[in-house]
Amino acid sequence: MPHPLRQHIEKIISLTDEEFDFVLSHFEQIKKRKHQHILQKDEIANKEYWIISGCLKSSFFDNDGKEHILQFGMENWWITDYDSFINQSKSKIYIDCIEDSELLYITYENREKLTSKMHKMERFWAKKSKYGRIALQNRILSLLKNSSKERYELLLEQYPKLFQRVPKKLIAAYLGVSRETLSRLNS
Amino acid sequence: MPHPLRQHIEKIISLTDEEFDFVLSHFEQIKKRKHQHILQKDEIANKEYWIISGCLKSSFFDNDGKEHILQFGMENWWITDYDSFINQSKSKIYIDCIEDSELLYITYENREKLTSKMHKMERFWAKKSKYGRIALQNRILSLLKNSSKERYELLLEQYPKLFQRVPKKLIAAYLGVSRETLSRLNS
DNA sequence: CATTTATCACAAATTTATTGTGACAATTGT
DNA sequence: ACAATTGTCACAATAAATTTGTGATAAATG
């Protein structure tokens, strides 16, 4: 069966075997265990990760040390701090594994190389980026217009798996409520 | 009471208040939680850490994925991969926290600066380095001449606290025996 | 001012990690 | 070749850490 990354990319653009091999040659594969981070504050994100298996979160710690989760990442998702990655600037966020995970990553330099040599992949990432932008916009809207109960229900509807996989306190940190409030939303 | 790092340094050289403040200004303080790493394979160790509180280990993973522990680090110890730090080359080792820890670190650049401006500190680190070398040599000798039971007893005698603080499987990875064998050394 | 939420405290439940031990194969030194 | 030591696998008991729900109360929100 085809490489999972190929399946993923071919949802947007199609590739020959040679093209995919060429793409893949720009990636490295690594394993990370639960709790291990792949990016921390003040580092420059020079890698973009694609999740083969496992689960990660990208989060921000406020001055009180409280964690706010920007994004969860699961199988077939991309994750990095795009602010830091694109601008090659210091990151404010922290990305770590919620489960043992297998990851593919492409460095900033390799992505530049690849997109310059292969216009198709430029298009792929451009499209990805558009979708990502829409998702972010929707998240902002949801934070503005929906109550925490509504946000909870929307998330549950959209990603029911997440609730079986990750502790509720992390869901709470994603929804922007305390874990106690989240717990009481059930009743 | 004086800063713990000052107490530590003054065991070897003496410092005025101004001198110590100057030294300290080259360090940064950070907190790390259990499981978090401060160095991983293929990174360049550009920081040397001094442990205020907590416990860390520096280890190497062999081809079978088995962990071999080079060194534990506790309060008032220094830790980094000196091979990588001194030569500013890619590290082969992994350093992570066994407990939540508070650390001071000095970057390679700052250490260069500090030692060039303050000869005393050059002497301090030179002496530290000598002691470290002796400790390493003794460890090698012990691995060569002592049985695992003897190495176990020597470690227990020298660092009894370690056995209360860290899981036996890590002691085993330090002694170079399987955790089962270590367990049976008790009887 | 009513409602919602955060915070603190606590205990129960659940999950992970640690530890010892038996059985047996592999390795080592003599 | 043989005895002793150790590694590996499997399993169960224990211990430790994490997760979860809930009450009480204060703070904030609209």
- Spell out which chain A residues touch chain B, with contact meaning CB-CB distance below 8 angstroms: 33-37
Same domain, A104 and A154: no
Same domain, A179 and A125: no
Q: How many other β-carbons are positioned within 10 Å of the β-carbon of residue B92? A: 12
Same domain, A103 and A120: yes
Same domain, A170 and A129: no
Determine the distance between A179 (CA) and C9 (C1') in angstroms. Answer: 15
> What is the extent of the structural domain holding B28?
4-118
Percent of chain B with pLDDT over 90: 90
The confidence band for A1, taking pLDDT boundaries of 50, 70 and 90, is confident
The interface pTM score, or ipTM, of the predicted complex is 0.89
Same domain, A77 and A168: no
Distance CA A154, CA A27 (A): 34
Is B101 part of a structural domain of the chain? yes
Q: Does residue B65 have a pLDDT over 90?
A: no
Q: Does residue A187 have a pLDDT over 80?
A: no
Same domain, A127 and A73: yes
Is B137 part of a structural domain of the chain? no
Nearest CA in chain B to A95: B36
Same domain, A107 and A136: yes
Q: In this complex, do A36 and B35 lie within 8 Å of one another by their Cβ atoms? A: yes
Is B73 part of a structural domain of the chain? yes
Same domain, A63 and A138: yes
Same domain, A85 and A156: no
Question: Is A50 in contact with A107 (CB distance < 8 Å)?
Answer: no
Q: Does residue B187 have a pLDDT over 80?
A: no
pLDDT of amino acid B104: 98
Is B35 part of a structural domain of the chain? yes
Mind listing the pLDDT tens digit for each residue in A68-121? Answer: 999 999 999 999 999 999 999 999 999 999 999 999 999 999 999 999 999 999
Same domain, A60 and A137: yes
Tell me the CATH number at B29: 2.60.120.10
| C chain positions with any atom within 7 Å of a protein CB | 4-9, 17-23
Same domain, A165 and A97: no
Of all nucleotides, the one whose C1′ comes closest to residue B169's CA is: C18
| D chain positions with any atom within 7 Å of a protein CB | 5-10, 18-24
Is B54 part of a structural domain of the chain? yes
Same domain, A175 and A136: no
Quick check: A177 CB within 7 A of strand C?
A: yes
Residues of A in contact with B43 (CB under 8 A): none
Q: Structural domain tally of chain A?
A: 2
Distance CA A146, CA A144 (A): 6
Residues of B in contact with A36 (CB under 8 A): 35-37
Torsional class of B126: left (φ above 0), alpha (ψ -120 to 50), beta (otherwise): alpha
CB pairs under 8 A between A and B: 11
Q: Give the pLDDT mean for A137-153.
A: 91
Determine the distance between A80 (CA) and D30 (C1') in angstroms. Answer: 37
